[in-house]
Structure 1
């Protein structure tokens, strides 16, 4: 497995034992330090009270204020400790989920890439080769003298195909593991050859087999219905005789299997009177290399692509058929949201503290509900659209948040406003393309609510003591 599929580098993952032990060690050290500071402050107040035991009046004034402040500090530390525990624990939970989701996304991308991976099946246009003699001259030294020698040598030349009528049927099936697609090719091509030369009648039909195949069978070359023998194993050069001015037809047929992409290459030749019919008997087929077919027909079985070149044409890139796969879009959205989730939680809790009476029990329940919703969003997003999943989860979150003011309707409405501004909109904003606009609206709604609540007093609550 590649490193990119392991998770986001540098982020803690609680599924790794070493990181879990390290997190527990740091948490224990931090907790002991906090307990020591609170205990030391209590001892300092007790020592100060003991030192002022002879001045009863000063002791009552000073120690009473300190005791009240210490009591408020302890009460505030309880809330602060709970919020910090929820933030730290939520961060490690979200970082773990972010790593898991990143791993799942990368595995999904790798699976799609593997389904269409492999070398392409490339059929190269055949060539008609003939041998001819051409004069050439060279110089050599004979008996100390420079002598010019005129000779003839045989060189290979090529005759242009007069016409090409090609039909290829492509069926697709999965491999043994069911991960990759395999093309099954049924190829038939008729080539027309006209001898336009005056003094040459011996030719070689060089029809190279399909490149990149995993299986090639029933390969044969026929001339006017007669099969041409293959002289040497691995040699796909077939000799034939054709008198000047005469015309003949050569047919190439074979069946093959290979990677999910089939293309035809002109091999630098000019194509004339050319027709290629590619019949893809499977859904999701598309034309390759950007060479647009002259005709595309869709039916229940698949798609037919037809390329027609009546006059001569030069095609630089190979063209043909490949299996289209839907692009995987919006990757990395959930990991980014999960990494920012503790900040969203902190903003939501802060809104609740500034808007309504909140007890330790309510903070603990609210934190549990928030991170449980994110956990549900993480795994629901693998099956349905994340925006739709968060819409359903938001309804559950709002219904549960109403319980913060079960005895007071005004408190419940305030809790709903805080939840919409502090949680629902920010999370939704990180799931949609217009994140900046949505987050700005959420921030504006939050500050407007706090201003209305505290500065203008337009929304008053009958506050209860926070427990």
Structure 2
């Protein structure tokens, strides 16, 4: 079973009721404290103004303070809206980031599940024989140690003279789930030569592949004569060779199992070795990094061939597996969403310095910004995120055009949006993030410098009004 993915740890997710109630109570307490502080400051200034109303010298600074406080209260709708949208945008974006992270991990899990399972690993056959070996051990007789010499049979192994293997692998869908299943047709011919100086009894040991779900037509032949398996589960077949005599074995079977088939020599040296695997399906690739001697397309798939003419020791199993499409660029949207409130704040500040902004304009602009982010989040599930933002950028700029009361103001809003909104988002979804974000920051400060210090507008005209846009 795969573990369930719960999203990014320690990140607020408003789809969880307990977190929603917890954050709501904190925001309510903070709002009450802020309101009490504002009212308290106002009452203190009013009392000071009333107590010193007959002293003109003392009342002047107090009156100025009250006036500034009143002007600050007029600006509170703007500051409050920006604070509310930044805070609300953070919770919205953190929730989207959590959901998107959960979706990405589920997609990776789905892709991995199609090729999950233990591999079908076929071990090379072993030629075993036994020799008598002398050994000594100590035992106690009448309280005194006595060294005893005895003999025992020890297994020895002889290398194969030649291995010629043909494998055909077909891939099918699993019956109970979406996992891929391999159907392997194996045929191997092995040659053995008695390299000892005297006749010897040998065992040809060939075990079926590990982790199979179905094995059928398992057949072992020696020089064209079928060898019968005496005991169930015993895959050792005895035979005898004279000194210098050779014998040929042929093994064939059909097996079904997990979507990965490998052949393992067990670290033993091989010579005159040839393994040809026809992966009769697309997206096949060689496993374990042992590069095939020859690779060529055949039928609906690819034939991989490994040829080792002289003594070669291969420690890793090698074979074929189904290569899935790589899941690239994960984590891009969650990172963008977590930084989105900061991008929004920078964009709104650029708009304030570029065009007159009423509090309703701030609310509409915030709605446009986060609506575009919401659309980008779910549109990127169907198409690439770069194409999604390419489609949304004209919509974003077209809606922002309406912020200006004339062509000059509209162009100013467009430039501020490109520098503070469009380019920073591009910088977080492309490969060269640092370069793109640097260009966005340079364009932002260049625009503010030209706009505010040099009195230059996009299409000529007078210097922007000195009236504070916060109070408009």
TM-score between both structures, scaled by the size of structure 2: 0.89
Contact 1:283–1:301 under 8 Å retained in 2: yes
Closer, same or farther: CA 238–47 of 1 in aligned 2, 3 Å = same
Aligned equivalents of 1:82 and 1:170: distance in 2?
64
Matches within 5 A, 1:77-156: 77-134=76-133, 153-156=152-155
Instruction: Describe how 1:184-263 pairs up with structure 2 within 5 A.
Output: 184-263=183-262
**Residue in structure 2 matched with residue 337 of structure 1 by the alignment:** 336
Deviations for 1:150-171, whole angstroms, at most 9, x for unmatched residues? 6654333323222111111112
| CA–CA separation in structure 2 for the residues paired with 1:141 and 1:58 | 118
> SS at the partner of 2:218?
strand
- 1:333-387, Cα deviation, whole Å (9 max, x unpaired): 2111111110110001011111110011110000011011111111122222212
8 Å Cα contact 1:52/1:58 also seen in 2: no
Matched-pair contact (CA < 8 Å) for 2:355–2:412: yes
Shift of 1:320: 1.0
Give the conservation status (yes or no) of the 8 Å contact 2:13–2:95: yes
Per-residue CA deviations over 1:37-60 (Å, capped at 9, x if unaligned) read: 44445545655666577x599999
**3-state DSSP of counterpart to 1:10:** coil
Equivalent residue of 1:341, what SS?
Answer: helix
- Does the 8 Å contact 2:267/2:316 carry over to 1? no
Q: Output the aligned Cα RMSD.
A: 2.9
CA distance in 2, matches of 1:162, 1:156: 19
Contact 2:199 2:240 in 1 (8 A): no
Task: List per-residue Cα deviations over 1:407-440 (Å, max 9, x = no partner).
Answer: 3000000000100010111111111222121111
Q: How does 1:57-72 map to 2 (within 5 A)?
A: 68-72=67-71
Separation in 2, partners of 1:148, 1:65: 112
Hey, what does 1:415 align to over in structure 2? 413
Moved more, 125-134 or 149-158: 149-158
User: Which ranges of structure 2 fall in alignment gaps of 5 or more residues?
Assistant: none
- Are residues 456 and 142 of structure 1, via their aligned partners in 2, closer, same or farther at CA, if it must alter by over 3 Å? closer
Number of positions where the alignment pairs a residue of Structure 1 with one of Structure 2:
465
The answer to whether 1:457 aligns with 2:455 is yes
Whole-angstrom CA distance in 1 between matches of 2:247 and 2:135: 33
Find the counterpart in structure 1 of residue 300 from structure 2. Answer: 301
Task: Return the offset for 1:114.
Answer: 3.0
| Paired residues of 1:287 and 1:322 also in contact (CA < 8 A) | yes
Q: Deviations over 1:283-323 (max 9, x none)?
A: 11111122111110114511100111122222122111122
Do the aligned residues in 1 keep the contact of 2:52 with 2:59 (CA within 8 Å)? Answer: no
What is aligned with 2:162?
163
Residue in structure 2 matched with residue 29 of structure 1 by the alignment: 29
**Cα deviation digits, residues 58-92 of structure 1 (max 9, x gap):** 99988976675444222211110111010000000
**8 Å CA contact 2:268, 2:313 repeated in 1:** yes
In the alignment, structure 1 segments of 5+ residues that lack a partner are: none
Q: Please tell me whether the aligned partners of residues 422 and 446 of structure 1 are also in contact (alpha carbons under 8 angstroms).
A: yes
Deviates more, 1:193-202 or 1:372-381: 193-202
Equivalent residue for 1:364? 363
Deviation at 1:108, TM superposition (A): 2.3
- How many Å separate the matches in 2 of 1:137 and 1:431? 73
SS of the counterpart of 2:234? coil
The answer to whether the aligner puts 1:404 opposite 2:403 as a matched pair is yes
Indicate which of 430, 433, 437 corresponds to 1:432. Answer: 430
Distance in 2 (CA, whole Å) between partners of 1:404 and 1:45 is 37
Distance in structure 2 (CA, Å) of the matches to 1:386 and 1:5: 22
Hey, what does 1:174 align to over in structure 2? 173
Q: Deviation at 1:33?
A: 2.9
Q: Secondary structure at the match of 1:5?
A: coil
> What SS is found at the alignment partner of 2:429?
coil
Which residue does 1:376 correspond to in 2? 375
Say which SS state the counterpart of residue 203 (structure 1) adopts. Answer: strand
d(CA) in 1 for partners of 2:299, 2:391: 37
Contact 1:356 1:461 in 2 (8 A): no
The offset of 1:123, in angstroms, is 0.8
Moved more, 249-258 or 63-72: 63-72
* Partner-residue secondary structure (3-state), 2:349: helix
